[in-house]
Amino acid sequence: MRKKGSAHLEIILSFVIFVGFTAFLLSYLQPIRNANVLEESVLSGFEEHFWEKAGTVFEKVLLNSTAPCKPSELSYNSLQSSEVLDNGFFYIISSPEFDSSLLASCNQSYKLGFLKNQTVLSNKSLSSMESQYNSDYESLKTELGIPSVIDFAVISDEYNMERDISSSSEVRAKEYSALVVYSNGTIETKSFIFKIWK
């Protein structure tokens, strides 16, 4: 037959084990940290899908020729850059962003310098995305891989995709800089602020 004191000891010991195990789980799983990791993951995925939707190719090459022309090595519509050098050297730029090529194909002999190829943001795509944000927000959110319970905004000095944010919402934001190419051949560095909140 058990004594009364040992029953109390078992209850106290069970309680101590339960509290210790709970404290261990909370410190190991760190639910607050995991919430931050989830938000960082959403922001990272948002940026990746944003680049897929608004990105375009931009090629730049130094051409040595008697006159500016479009070399066959360039893949897209071409323009002559404003950075023209002396002695028959021209910068030629190429991108699908350009509506049409202002240069005829090269018929004379020419030499090319290093062909620089990079992914930049397209002004046309960004303007289209801004229109979609204001007219069909939910489908744009799906295309950008943002969960339905989260809202988003993209802010820059030229493109404004922003909604009202409740004062009770916790906002996570990240700033990015990117090159944007325009149909006239100019390319500018723009800052973008991505925001998500629930």
**List of residues 6+ apart from 37 with CB closer than 8 A:** none
Residue with tokens 């390319």: 187
* Mean pLDDT along residues 132-154: 93
Q: Per residue in 78-130, pLDDT tens? A: 998 877 777 889 999 999 999 888 899 999 899 998 888 999 999 999 999 99
The three-state secondary structure class of 34 is helix
Cα–Cα distance measured from residue 113 to residue 115, given in angstroms and rounded to the nearest whole number: 6
pLDDT category at 189 given cuts 50, 70, 90 is very high
Same domain, 105 and 115: yes
Point out which residues pair with 111 in neighbouring strands.
64
Same domain, 84 and 102: yes
Point out which residues pair with 13 in neighbouring strands.
none
Domain enclosing residue 110, as ranges:
57-119
Q: Is residue 100 part of a domain?
A: yes
pLDDT category at 5 given cuts 50, 70, 90 is low
Same domain, 131 and 82: no
Same domain, 138 and 188: yes
Q: Is residue 108 part of a domain?
A: yes
Q: Is residue 14 part of a domain?
A: no
DSSP state of 66: S
Q: For residue 106, give both structure tokens.
A: 């090269």
Strands 78-80 and 151-155: unpaired
Same domain, 127 and 178: yes
Q: Per residue in 153-164, pLDDT tens? A: 999 999 989 999
Q: For residue 100, give both structure tokens.
A: 């049409």
Same domain, 132 and 181: yes
Residue 7 has pLDDT above 70, yes or no: no
Q: Is residue 20 part of a domain?
A: no
**Kind and range of the H or E run holding 62:** strand 55-64
Cα–Cα distance measured from residue 27 to residue 37, given in angstroms and rounded to the nearest whole number: 16
Q: Is residue 12 part of a domain?
A: no
Q: Is residue 44 part of a domain?
A: yes
CB atoms closer than 10 angstroms to residue 120:
20
* Mean pLDDT along residues 35-52: 80
**Per the structure, how many domains does the chain have?**
2
How far apart, in Å, are the Cα atoms of 113 and each of 59, 61, 185?
Answer: 12, 6, 19
